[in-house]
Amino acid sequence: MRAAYKAMQIASGSLELVERQTPAPKANEVLIAVEACGVCGADPSDIDRADPTLKPPRVPGHEVVGRIVALGENTPSIWKIGQRVGVGRLGGHCNECGECRRGRFNLCRNQPTVGSTCDGGYAEMMIARATGLISIPDELSSQEAAPILCAGIATFNALKKSGAEAGDTVAILGIGGLGHMALQYARKMGLRVVAVGRGEDIAAEAMTLGAHRYIDANKEDAAGVLNTMGGAKAILTTTADSAAVAAIMPALAPEGRLVVLGVGKDPLPVSTGYLVGAERGIIGSITGSPFENEKTLDFSVLTGVRPMIETMPLELAAEAVQKMRSGDVKFRIVLTMGDQPNAHQ
């Protein structure tokens, strides 16, 4: 095994390339040789909010795929040296808290947030909790699988929680890193899919990705159009723009559900009478457990759902993050680490 590895660590709100000593995994941990790491819309926030006093500085990135190169003590026998695994935003449940005892591992209060409270995958090596590991299907490349571990699981689980069934109308608000996955999953689930975005430049791609109808919110009243279609059984919002979310909420059909994925600073204005009168609901949805992540990966393989990505080398991580900040990405950037499968040799 190599004695040192490259990592992009946070330095004064930006990223710097450094070399670190290869660590040894502790009990119930593994060491992963990273092959690919997606750049998520949450990464810029992690970089901006990182603790400047932390030593060594934090390494961001939470859409990680690589191979196990070392096992800590008491690691479950299902994990083997050389096995390809992934790690998402949730870094591994504790198996002790009340939520874990209920089997709600994604709601564990004692698990690290990868790339924020523990080091992530903008690096050639990464330590991960065994409880956070996800098995990667052979049919997916590491670059394809990486965004599914966050954007994929987030939208796949949100659609399952939405209450919509095959034949129902579902609106996807925001066609970006999350939205472009939601369109594909919704179509493959047999839903009537309406994409809501701003501008005609995204219309053709939205239709190709699975939308039956595209609404340009710059030119059309999205809520009005949806109501002429009978309303939406569910609306998935991937945007942090609370005003845009509030504007489309009148399109919810009776017993419809708004599922919030985009996190913004501003409160969401909603009339309690609007909720009570037709038994509408608003819920939040957070990624998912490793088991749910594996179901998402398997569904992606079975139905041909893939993220649209562009790849960049680890050394250009700062440029990749800046491109993500600008919104000039269709629809996901994935950092690559070169030939990593033999890193343990």
User: What's this model's pTM, rounded to 2 decimal places?
Assistant: 0.94
Q: Given this model, what pLDDT does residue 287 score?
A: 93
Q: CATH assignment of 4-136+308-336?
A: 3.90.180.10
Q: Where are the domains of the chain?
A: 4-136+308-336, 152-284
255 pLDDT more than 60: yes
Q: What is the largest CA-CA distance in the chain?
A: 64
Residue 340's pLDDT band, with cuts at 50, 70 and 90, is: low
Give the CB-side neighbour count of residue 96, counting CA atoms within 13 A. 3
What would the pLDDT profile of 159-217 be if each residue is shown by its tens digit? 999 999 999 999 999 999 999 999 999 999 999 999 999 999 999 999 999 999 999 99
Q: Is the peptide bond before 44 cis (omega within 30 degrees of 0)?
A: no
Q: Given this model, what pLDDT does residue 224 score?
A: 97
Six-digit token pair at 234? 């569910």
Q: CATH assignment of 152-284?
A: 3.40.50.720
Contact 255, 280 (CB under 8 A): yes
What would the pLDDT profile of 78-128 be if each residue is shown by its tens digit? 999 999 999 999 999 999 999 999 999 999 999 999 999 999 999 999 999
Strand spans (E) along the chain: 4-11, 14-21, 29-39, 63-71, 84-87, 125-129, 134-135, 169-173, 192-197, 213-216, 232-237, 252-260, 281-284, 309-313, 332-336
Residues 6+ apart with CB under 8 A from 52: 12
Give the helix ranges, DSSP H, for 91-202.
98-101, 142-147, 153-161, 179-188
